[in-house]
Structure 1
Amino acid sequence: MKRLILLFAALLAIAPAAFADRSFLVDADWLAGQMKNPKLVVLEVRYHPHRYFTVGHIPGAIQVQRFKDLGDNAGRSIMLFPSRDKFQATLRGWGIDNDSLIVLYDDSRTALAARLYFLLALYGYDMSRVKILDGGTVEWTAFNELTQKPTLPRKRGTVTLKPADRRLFVEWPQVYDDVLSRRDPNIVLVDARPHDMYTGKVVRHAIQPGHIPGAINVVSLDGTDAQTQKWLSEEQLAALYKDVPRDKTVYLYCHDGFRMSLGWLQLKSLGYQDVRVLNGGWSIWDRAMTLPVVEGEQPYDADFSL
């Protein structure tokens, strides 16, 4: 029996993609087949929200405004998590009940939809009832049309959320303690932003260049196809995260919560067990101004390598 257990563990280590679960991803045909389902609620999160009206949306879709609806508008960073009560009220306004079938889509390679997916998981929604349209608007418009016809308001929903699941996120003091101070070998910190922002070569949506000391860079958007906007294969995704051990606790961050949510979803789909995002992301760390920052290709610079 012991040998069998060791063999199974070895198989997990060398072939993680074989155990992946991406059942939350659906295609346009699946969604089209659900359009008459009375429990269906389709939510659109566009990078440019006005395109819901000017370009059009999937028939019946409700607009989600990513900054207004998916963050704490009065917080130190607008993309801290919204409170449970605020997010619950938002969901009820979209007509969501505890047994709604929710389909999310965007035009940004799943990064925006992933934030909404993460928040639903954070506050305890039944995630077996939440799907993401793989490929978003590109997938839908291959054989279907968008509409500019306004979506009629739904009856106010009755969804009841749970307290935030503390196993899904960290705050910046915990990152400072675990990664910078104690160098906990069981923690891996991942920066999900574009590489030139990680190194500090480019400063965008930030005050300072660089990354949190100790972070490695895995660009979550690289796990999707730029043209089709669909997820890459399980094997390709596993290769992207090859430097992230499966038996470690993973902390993820990006600028404002979208790309790190995509990274969280990618890792969970690959079978990683303990994955957490930094509440507020780089925005919280960066705007503190006195927290240490590293520029360049390496996780640590000379000051932190001693």
Structure 2
Amino acid sequence: MDTLMDVATLRDRIDSGRRTVLLDVRWALGDPHGRDHYRKGHIPGAVFVDLATELAGPAEPRRGRHPLPPLEQFQASVRRWGVRGGDVVVAYDDSGNMSAARLWWMLRNAGFRTVHLLDGGLAAWRAAGFGLESGDDGGPAVPPGDAGLSDTALSEGAMPRIDAGQAAAWGRQGLLLDARAGARYRGEIEPVDPRAGHIPGAVSAPTTANLAADGRFLPPEELRERFSRLGVRPGVPTAVYCGSGVTAAHEIAALDIAGFPAALYPGSFSEWSNDPANDVVTGAAPYAEGSAGGD
């Protein structure tokens, strides 16, 4: 299962008329105007995906800021987007796939094998000189009840994940990666969650270090070298968290490209830090890499 699709391959699929469902996941922490950005310009045929309402349930302290939505809610969204079983799905955003990776992970978790991230996202499409269209959804979405979508019955559990109890012990049996900004990991700042710091035993691994300067993922060999330096090894159970389970999916995509499986902690630090029974530690131990951030 290829995690990435490059813009030349996507353009060729579009030009040749091969069915491709394009999903635009424009979202960033502190910027709730994804739909407005989409309306101003998106890849022709792309359908807008609202991360806050379609890729997450309502925020609550015991589950975090972006808990995974109920399966039936996600299935209704997938049908709205026009996705059928067996479709080739390509997700993108305008921030190095930091938010699109959430959709990639959720579809993979639901059993979709042919879902990809557009490497470099919207910036790579623009850089290649390809045009955009404006306005509202112009993609393959079909009205609810269309019989052609009846085969889109989702399952879940195809991707590994852990809960808070497992996260508490993970550092003793494997490797727990913290995908947030180094400054948030160290507890120097905390803009959104109730306590600053990190889960005991976690290793700092900011998501932005997965990307080259142009927003594309580093080559597999460079990602393997990066994660090996952080302690990732074959046979060592690896799990990832971030602020609310969004950019941790980006880390899991990068690990997948590098050839390493990893589990997601969906509640992430927003869930963890809201429970006073959970310890939070500050400082650079056991390791701190970089200072760029996640959600």
* TM-score, scaled to structure 2: 0.85
CA distance in 2 between counterparts of 1:29 and 1:46 reads: 21
CA deviation vs aligned residue, 1:104-131 (integer Å, no higher than 9, x gap): 1111111111110100111112x1x212
- Which residue identity does 1:271 align to in structure 2? G
Pairing 1:44–2:20 present: no
In the superposition, relative to structure 1, how do residues 197 and 120 fare at CA in structure 2: closer, same or farther (>3 Å)? Answer: same
CA distance in 1 between counterparts of 2:105 and 2:95 reads: 16
- Which residue identity does 2:154 align to in structure 1? L
CA deviation vs aligned residue, 1:76-120 (integer Å, no higher than 9, x gap): 324111121111111001111102111111111111111101001
CA distance in 2 between counterparts of 1:286 and 1:240 reads: 28
Q: Does structure 1 retain, via aligned residues, the 8 Å contact 2:19–2:87?
A: yes
In the superposition, relative to structure 1, how do residues 204 and 74 fare at CA in structure 2: closer, same or farther (>3 Å)? Answer: closer
Partner of residue 110 from structure 1, selected from 86, 94, 97: 97
Partner of residue 167 from structure 2, selected from 171, 175, 181: 175
Partner SS for 2:45? coil
CA distance in 2 between counterparts of 1:74 and 1:190 reads: 23
Pairing 1:297–2:284 present: yes
CA distance in 2 between counterparts of 1:71 and 1:44 reads: 16
Cα deviation for residue 74 of structure 1 reads 5.8
Pairing 1:34–2:13 present: yes
Q: CA RMSD in A?
A: 1.9
Q: Does structure 2 retain, via aligned residues, the 8 Å contact 1:218–1:240?
A: no
CA deviation vs aligned residue, 1:24-65 (integer Å, no higher than 9, x gap): 3122221111125353110001124020013x1111110011
**Structure 1 residue ranges without an equivalent (≥5):** 1-20, 301-306
- Identity among equivalent positions (%) equals 29
Q: Does structure 1 retain, via aligned residues, the 8 Å contact 2:168–2:199?
A: no
In the superposition, relative to structure 1, how do residues 164 and 234 fare at CA in structure 2: closer, same or farther (>3 Å)? Answer: closer
More helix by share: 1
Pairing 1:146–2:132 present: yes
Aligned to 1:13: none
Q: Does structure 2 retain, via aligned residues, the 8 Å contact 1:172–1:279?
A: no
In the superposition, relative to structure 1, how do residues 39 and 293 fare at CA in structure 2: closer, same or farther (>3 Å)? Answer: same
CA distance in 1 between counterparts of 2:83 and 2:191 reads: 35
In the superposition, relative to structure 1, how do residues 288 and 37 fare at CA in structure 2: closer, same or farther (>3 Å)? Answer: farther
Bigger Rg, which one: 1
Pairing 1:245–2:233 present: yes
Partner SS for 1:290? coil
* TM-score, scaled to structure 1: 0.82
